[in-house]
Chain A
Amino acid sequence: MYRLRGVTRRFRQGPLNLAAVFDLDLDIDAGEFVVIQGRSGSGKTTLLQLLGGLDQQTSGTLAFEGRELRGLNDRQLTALRLHAFGFIFQQFNLIPTLNARDNVELALRPARLAGPERRERAMALLEQVSLSDRARHLPSQLSGGEQQRVAIARALANRPRVLLADEPTGNLDSRTAEEIGGLLRALWLEQRQTVVLVTHDRVIAALAPRVLVMHDGRFATDSCSGSRPEEVLTASGC
């Protein structure tokens, strides 16, 4: 699914030219659950942005399903974000004035579904994250975990080929964090949803069969090269 070779992303910061990500090689296959772990400033968020087409590498090649993302225009990237990527954010990024269902529907809008169909699908998605009884609640009326589940439902709205989660549990207490981690793991296990999750939380990282630890823009360790569910289930030591 992803094939990265020599990917470097440099930021100009005054006279310095810092590399947030430096000379990375990475392959991620469809159906994998990959956690990128590292301290803040290690370059993990930058890597996630590159994977989601939100940012472009300075050098190297980054291909998603064989297509180099850097060469795509805004419209093509938008189409990818709509159909291929599902983003989950640390701050949930829900629209505070819209209730849970309307927030999910917002992601279905560009797909041009008819109103009733859209509503039905939004409800099905909320059902999937066990929030159908909270559909009419505003984000402010939901707990952090519930808000993140709405955000996950939104990310899943257009059946993305990969879920890209940026510190999804960073704003949650440890119990809720495990719950959200478990939800993502269940999606991977039960629906073969490819997940790339960025976190600094070792507990969450432990949920994934494959953990890449980043340090100063490079991978320190790659726990496992194959992390598809069947491999994990067969070779559980990975």
Chain B
Amino acid sequence: MISLTYLRSELGRRRGRTVLMVSGVAIGVALVLLSTALVSGLDRAQASVLTPLAGVGTDMLVTRTAATDNGQIPSSSDLQALQTEEQATSQAALIDLSHLGKPGTRFVHDFFLPPAELTFPDAQAAAIRALPGVVGVASALTLVANHRQGTVPEIVSEMSIPSQTVTIAPPTPAEDAQINACVGRLLPRPTVPAPGQSPPPPIVTGPPAGMAQCLPKRFRQLMIPGQVLREVIAPPQTDITTTTYAVTGLDLAVAGLGPITRAQVTEGSFLDPASSSGQAMVSGAFATRSKLHVGSRLTINGSVFAIVGLVTPPLGGHPADVYLSLPALQALAGRGGRVNALMVRADGAKDVDRVAREIRDAFRGAQVTTAADLARQVSGSLLDATTLADRLGVLIALVVLAAGFGVAGAMTLASVGERVRELGTLRAIGWRRGAVVRQVLAEALAQGLIGALAGVALGFAIVWLVSALAPPLHAVSLAGPSSPSPFGLGTVTVPAAGDRTVRLEAIVDAWPVVVAITLCVAGGLLSGAAGAVRSARLKPADALRELG
């Protein structure tokens, strides 16, 4: 038994306070809605950005790296892979510009740098595919390439030494005699002919063996005094510009599994498995940077690729700028039959950890990264916003709500205090104690409910506004493809590939609305409680109380 007429008139009487209290609660509720909407909007944004592997049908990523974070010596399999890398590198004539043409001529060339993720034979994919719990394996090769163009520099200096004529003075008589004596000793001693015999004819056979020993030293060795030749070579950094991009070769045999799938194509089409050798896809960001579009051509070291599609690479995996077919990239980079990433799909989410262990056991040196690991590597304003909304937003909203109800409680109490005689009169004319308490509670509750409804309306309005303005948020993946610097100084990371911008959309779910209204009902009851207790203590005799 609650008199709605009385309730309405009472709230109207203290209109100022009612408005104050209602707006306090409304702001609290609106904040609750906004922050939960932001959290769920951010969660959704994050999910779209952070579930790269799920987005490409993958549960885990298998790579191999020589980098050890605890200073351990790389395993023997890693060393093997390193050797292979070195060979490939020398084959690809890493940065010897002299191979590109004569000095002074223009050149354009793409150099494929040795990747941080070491390559391994393609056959590993088959071995992992055979493991129990593995549903599919797609291999990929991701490399960082330096695209260089400019003038071939003067790197090699060609030294021409002028021909010299050395005049040697003829032997002196003393030297002559010495030579003759020496030669004489070398010649066979002449035998004295017997009487009656004619002396044998002298045998002339040229200079006897060892005659060179009889020459004086100056005839044997010609000495030219030492001299140093200096020539300035043109520095290799003439007008060469270098741009870096990441390129991935895709294994097209497994549909829907790989570093990128049809789902990430934003424009055009996916590589056609039947005729992929001359096709390429590029990321939207790379297309913008390089002024490429679907239908334009991309030339890499003389090979021409038609761009068939634009893609949005998932963050966190191995996002690349250019996607080719695996054989095409292997041929271009001189890494036939080698890959450096395997995308593995497990039988079910429960199997992921087990399969990851099996892969580590079966493939020495393997690094298995699961979706959960990848999510941790993403940072940026997206995450900051999520953390903020998560931790602060709801807290602030609850504080505002609590404060609102604290004030409401004080107001209800004050209102009961002011209405001692009025409420006493109700008791005197036959209202039960419970009826008076209910009436007072209903007043507080009504304020809470009005506040909740106003807050829900306000919240929706703000959420709509936020969505309309849609602030962009950045997410940066630390897992971008990287490569040891060609000059041995640290690691070059491709910044653009792992950077994603998402528009924030605030999404109001049903539950925060329900929770907010419930909170307001509870808060209303709570704030009315003090007033209710006081009104319960009122005696009907208070109706006769003299008031000033």
B425 to A75, Cβ gap below 8 A?
no
**In the complex, per-residue mask of B422-464: 1 if CB is within 8 Å of any chain A CB, else 0:** 1001111111110100000000000000000000000000000
B1–A110 touching, CB < 8 Å: yes
Segment touching A, from B4-12, B107-115, B261-269: B4-12
Query: How many chain A residues have a CB neighbour from B under 8 Å?
Result: 36
A54 and B425 within 8 A (CB): no
**B5, closest chain A residue (CB):** A102
A20 interface residue per 8 A CB criterion: no
From A74, A97, A107, A112, B10 is in contact (CB under 8 Å) with A97
A45 interface residue (CB < 8 Å to B)? yes
Chain B residue contacts of A79, Cβ below 8 A: 430
Q: How far is the CB of A113 from chain B (nearest CB, A)?
A: 11
Q: B544 contacts A97, CB within 8 Å?
A: no
Asked whether A78 and B421 contact (CB < 8 A) given A89-B543, A97-B9, A106-B6, the answer is no
Residues of B503-548 at the interface with A, using a CB-CB cut-off of 8 Å, are: 539-541, 543-544, 547
Q: Which of B12, B426, B430, B539 contacts A97 (CB 8 A)?
A: B12
Complex CA–CA separation, A201 to B483 (angstroms): 107
A46-76 CB mask vs B (1 if < 8 Å, else 0) is 0001001111000000000000000000110
Tell me the bound Cα distance from A166 to B544 in angstroms: 8
Contact of A98 among B5, B427, B429, B433 (CB under 8 A): B5
Among A82, A93, A96, contact of B13 (Cβ-Cβ < 8 Å): A96
Chain B hits for A93, CB < 8 A: 421-422, 425, 428, 543
Cβ of A106 and Cβ of B541 under 8 Å apart?
Answer: no
B83 within 8 A of A: no
Task: Tell me, in angstroms, the Cα distance from A54 to B545 when the chains sit together.
Answer: 12
The answer to whether B9 and A102 touch across the interface, beta carbons within 8 angstroms, is yes
Residues of A contacting B430 with CB < 8 Å?
A: 78-79, 81-83, 107, 110-111, 158
**A55 near B429 (CB under 8 angstroms)?**
no
Check A95 against B6 for contact (C-beta < 8 Å).
yes
Residue ID in chain A nearest B424 by CB atoms: A93
Chain A residues contacting B429 (CB-CB under 8 Å) are 81-82, 86-87, 106-107, 154-155, 157
Choose one: B9, B10, B13, B432; the contact of A75 (CB below 8 Å): B432
**Inter-chain contact B425/A105, CB cutoff 8 Å:** no
**Structural contact, B427 and A78, CB atoms closer than 8 A:** yes
Nearest CB on B from A62, distance (A): 15
A91 at the interface (CB under 8 A from B): yes
How many B residues, CB 8 Å from partner? 26
Candidates B1, B9, B428, B431; contact of A112 at CB < 8 Å: B1
Task: From known contacts A89-B544, A166-B544, infer whether A81 and B428 are also in contact, taking CB-CB under 8 Å.
Answer: yes
Q: A78-B427, A87-B428, A154-B429 are in contact. Are A49 and B544 (CB under 8 A)?
A: yes
Residue of B whose beta carbon sits closest to that of A138: B9
CB distance from B13 to the nearest CB of A (A): 5
Contact check, A81 vs B540: say whether CB atoms are below 8 A apart: yes
| Nearest A-chain residue to B429, judged by Cβ | A107
A78 near B432: Cβ-Cβ < 8 Å: yes
Asked if A91 meets B547 with Cβ closer than 8 Å, knowing A107-B429, A158-B430, the reply is: yes
Bound complex: CA A150 to CA B547 (Å): 20
Query: Which of A74, A86, A109 contacts B3 (CB under 8 A)?
Result: A109
Question: Which residues A96-149 have CB closer than 8 A to chain B?
Answer: 96-98, 102, 105-107, 109-112
Considering only residues 22-59 of chain A, those with a C-beta below 8 Å from chain B are 45, 49, 52-55
- List chain B residues, Cβ under 8 A from A54: 428, 539-541, 543-544
B6 and A102 form a contact (CB under 8 A): yes
Q: Which residue in B13, B431, B539, B547 is a CB contact (below 8 Å) of A110? A: B431
Within the assembled complex, what's the spacing in Å between the Cα atoms of A96 and B542? 17
Knowing that A109-B3, A154-B429 are A-B contacts, what are 12 other residue pairs whose CB atoms are under 8 Å apart, sorted by A's residue number? A49-B544, A54-B544, A75-B432, A81-B428, A87-B429, A97-B12, A98-B6, A106-B429, A110-B432, A157-B429, A158-B430, A166-B544
Top 6 nearest A-B pairs (CB, nearest first) are A82-B430, A97-B9, A54-B541, A93-B425, A107-B429, A97-B13
**Residue contacts A-B, CB under 8 angstroms, 8 given:** A54-B541, A74-B433, A87-B425, A95-B6, A106-B6, A110-B432, A112-B1, A157-B429
- Chain A residues packing against B (C-beta within 8 Å): 45, 49, 52-55, 74-75, 77-79, 81-83, 86-87, 89, 91, 93, 95-98, 102, 105-107, 109-112, 154-155, 157-158, 166
